[in-house]
Amino acid sequence: MTPRSTVPPSPSPNGIRRVRHLLILAGSLIAATAGAQGDSVAISHDDPRIGLRAGYNDAAEVARNMELVGHGARPQNFGNAQNLGDFAFLNGDLAFKGNLAFQGGFNGFQVWDISNPKSPTLRTSFVCPGGQGDPSIYKNLLFFSVEETRGRVDCGGQGVTDTVSAERFRGVRIFDISDLDHPKQVAAVQTCRGSHTHTLVIDPNDPENVYIYVSGTSVVRSGAELAGCSRGASLTDTTTSLFRIDIIQVPVAAPQNARVVNSPRIFADSAGAIAGLWQGGAHGEGTQTTSQTNQCHDITVYSAIGLAAGACSGNGILLDIHDPVHPKRIAAVIDPNFAYWHSATFNNDGTKVLFSDEWGGGMAPRCRATDKLTWGADAIFYRTGDKLTPAGHYKLPVVQTDQENCVAHNGSLIPVPGRDIMTQAWYQGGVSVFDFTDAAHPKEIAFFDRGPMDATKLLLGGEWGTYWYNGYIYASEI
């Protein structure tokens, strides 16, 4: 389930002094205070997050070095009161523009006016089912990921029943949002595996176009539905739609002409074999079983230094993107503690890359006392040129219950000069802010958490992603 915002080229001069609040949308906003002292990364058994009262709207809450200052309630047409964990209505990731926060999701997107972060208001919502609704924004264009087979070209909610249908849409939608009351779909670029996530790439040498790196993780559609798609799973099948990403070129002045311009084989080995990285499986006794590297879940770009980091199921990779249409893999790493490489984050100067592992797919309790601190965690690497060297791990340092889905998920940097600080969502593990300036010894410095959705069973819930924006941390609650 799913960051990839481009890292700012330089830290904010105001730094952590402005990070004082948390806001949760369709579910809150949080902040961390300046000068907070770090806690040990070792698991804590004497922590106020332990034993919190369960509840849907009335769960007990606790925070340290943060305070909850705002909350936006879920619109009625973006939820199922009869099934609180209904996948069809999950909220997803966030994107920002001015005083607006765009919240993507499996049922469409919501736009929140955050002019007053302590009182966010719903500006508009747009129903367009298809999951998982990963959003990004460039000027007046909203890009929106669709991967499910129920997605329709016309955004209808009736789904698609035929096995092969011209009505089905799986790929990246492009909306003109210059009139927020009437968002207009101006393009819908189909891809073979749909778009689980996507990454906006801005080439400083090409102002006429922007590029979208598409990460597809779903099943490959039939070639009868979209020409060129191939379900071949053989490691030697060079026609397969696996083992690649798709790159969409979007002319800024004519977004309706957006199209796929390349599908690079970024996992190929030096001999050209397309399945050149991890083949899937365990690494030995006591290790994780790691997914095969035939897809990227998420890619984070740092255009200012011409690099991208990809979290690609079985590997973490580093890409040279100076030519955004033809990215080249320059490094690949593996960690026997990782089940599924999920997301990547650069620090501000690009000397570190943090990869996250979504062990259990975000739907399982993976922060229990019996779960290893290096499983379902973050792995931090030093970057020197095209080399990635392992430095340390970070995991939520408090035990969660069997009733709480919990694992490392989406987050972002908090721009603080001279320090590497990140806010991260852990689903029902809440929000954790940690300092990884010393990459070998990351320390939690702030947190927000509430009790489980239900005291007797696991109901899917919690924070999908947390993002620092203009002095606040915004959380998207699924």
Q: Are 186 and 176 in contact (CB under 8 A)?
A: yes
From 193, 203, 184, 151, select the one nearest 255 (Cα to Cα): 184
Structure tokens that stand for 110 in this block: 């919501």
Dihedral pair phi/psi, residue 457, rounded to 5°? -145, 160
- Look at residue 109 and tell me if it is in a domain: yes
Residue 84: predicted pLDDT: 78
Q: Give the tens place of pLDDT for each residue, 306-351.
A: 999 999 999 999 999 999 999 999 999 999 999 999 999 999 999 9
State mean pLDDT over 199-224: 97
From 450, 358, 474, select the one nearest 114 (Cα to Cα): 474
Q: Give the tens place of pLDDT for each residue, 261-295.
A: 999 999 999 999 999 999 999 999 999 999 999 99
Q: Which amino acid is at 104?
A: G
From 266, 293, 267, select the one nearest 279 (Cα to Cα): 293
Size of the chain, expressed as the number of residues it contains: 478
Q: Are 399 and 380 in contact (CB under 8 A)?
A: no
- Look at residue 52 and tell me if it is in a domain: yes
Q: What is the pTM of this model?
A: 0.92
Q: Are 5 and 412 in contact (CB under 8 A)?
A: yes
Edge-to-edge strand ranges of the sheet holding 352-357:
341-346, 352-357, 378-384, 387-394
Residue 17 has pLDDT above 50, yes or no: no
- Look at residue 8 and tell me if it is in a domain: no
- Look at residue 5 and tell me if it is in a domain: no
Q: Give the tens place of pLDDT for each residue, 109-130.
A: 999 999 999 999 999 999 999 9
- Look at residue 1 and tell me if it is in a domain: no
The confidence band for 41, taking pLDDT boundaries of 50, 70 and 90, is: low
**Measured between alpha carbons, how far is 230 from 234 in angstroms, rounded to an integer?**
11
Residue 33 has pLDDT above 50, yes or no: no
Print the SS3 string covering the chain: CCCCCCCCCCCCCCHHHHCCEEEEECCCEECCCCCCCCECCCCECCCCCCCCCCCCCCCCEEEECCCEEEEECCCHHHCCCCCCCCHHHCEEEEEEECCEEEEEECCEEEEEECCCCCCCEEEEEEECCCCEEEEEEECCEEEEEECCCCCECCCCCCCCCCCCCCCECCEEEEEECCCCCCCEEEEEEECCCCCCEEEEECCCCCCCEEEEEEECCCCCCCCCCCCCCCCCCCCCCCCCCCCCCEEEEEECCCHHHCEEEECCCCCCCCCCCCCCCCCCEECCCCCCEECCCCCCCEEEEEHHHCEEEEEEECEEEEEECCCCCCCEEEEEECCCCCCCEEEEEECCCCCEEEEEECCCCCCCECCCCCCCCCCCCEEEEEEECCEEEEEEEECCCECCCCCCCECCCEEEEEEECCEEEEEEECECCCEEEEECCCCCCCEEEEEEEECCCCCCCCCCCCEEEEEEECCEEEEEEC
How many domains would you assign to the chain? Answer: 1
Give Cβ neighbours of residue 434 (< 8 Å, ≥ 6 apart): 38, 41, 394, 421, 422, 424, 442, 443, 444, 445
- Look at residue 4 and tell me if it is in a domain: no
- Look at residue 160 and tell me if it is in a domain: yes
Q: Give the tens place of pLDDT for each residue, 82-113.
A: 887 788 999 999 999 999 999 999 999 999 99
Residue 26: predicted pLDDT: 61
- Look at residue 291 and tell me if it is in a domain: yes
Domain span at residue 222? 15-477
| The pairing of beta strand 61-64 with beta strand 315-320 | unpaired
Residue whose entry in the numeric block shows the structure tokens 């390349």 = 262
**Measured between alpha carbons, how far is 2 from 4 in angstroms, rounded to an integer?**
10
Q: Give the tens place of pLDDT for each residue, 400-412.
A: 999 999 999 999 9
Residue 13: predicted pLDDT: 27
Dihedral pair phi/psi, residue 204, rounded to 5°? -60, -15
Residue 27 has pLDDT above 70, yes or no: no
From 346, 351, 371, select the one nearest 360 (Cα to Cα): 371
Residue 472: predicted pLDDT: 96
Q: Are 341 and 312 in contact (CB under 8 A)?
A: yes
The CATH number of whichever domain residue 28 belongs to comes to 2.130.10.10
**Measured between alpha carbons, how far is 60 from 55 in angstroms, rounded to an integer?**
8
